[in-house]
Amino acid sequence: DVTPPVALATYASAGIAKSEPLKTGFTALLVAAAGFIVPYMFIYNPGLLLQGSVFEIVFASVTALIAVIGLSAAVQGYFADDINIIERLLLLAVPFLIVYPTMLTNLIGAAIVVAIFAKQKGFGKKKNTLEGGTV
């Protein structure tokens, strides 16, 4: 169990690491946050339980992966690069958009993840190149 105030596993690991138990517990809670979102997705999307057509199962799995990626990046503050507060808030909204499975919310959530990734990787920016030879 990693949820404070009980968090027995984190208290044991904090003792081994000689760190503060409550701070370790909250860090573990943030790392395990995706494990709290995905079960709610089961309610609205039986494809995650392998019920339905192959398309429904694959679509549910991909959207769940996008939700977990968005939440993990928001919690850790890092995606392809460090993220600012606006990117963090947008990524934090992704799992909540995807939990309720409508095509519009899924597309918005996926677009947020792709847009932030593209921005951080510098897609669309002109690269500086040297003309006339090598360095």
Q: Domains of the chain: which residue ranges?
A: 1-29, 33-121
Q: Which residue has the tokens 């928001």?
A: 74
Selection from 27, 102, 29 nearest residue 59 by Cα: 102
Q: 80: pLDDT confidence band, cut at 50, 70 and 90? A: confident
| Model confidence at 32: pLDDT above 70 | yes
**Is-contact 96 74, C-beta < 8 A?**
no
The predicted structure's pLDDT at residue 130: 60
User: 102: how many CB neighbours lie within 10 A of its CB?
Assistant: 11
pLDDT of residue 125: 67
**Average pLDDT of the chain to the nearest whole number:** 86
pTM above 0.85, yes or no: no
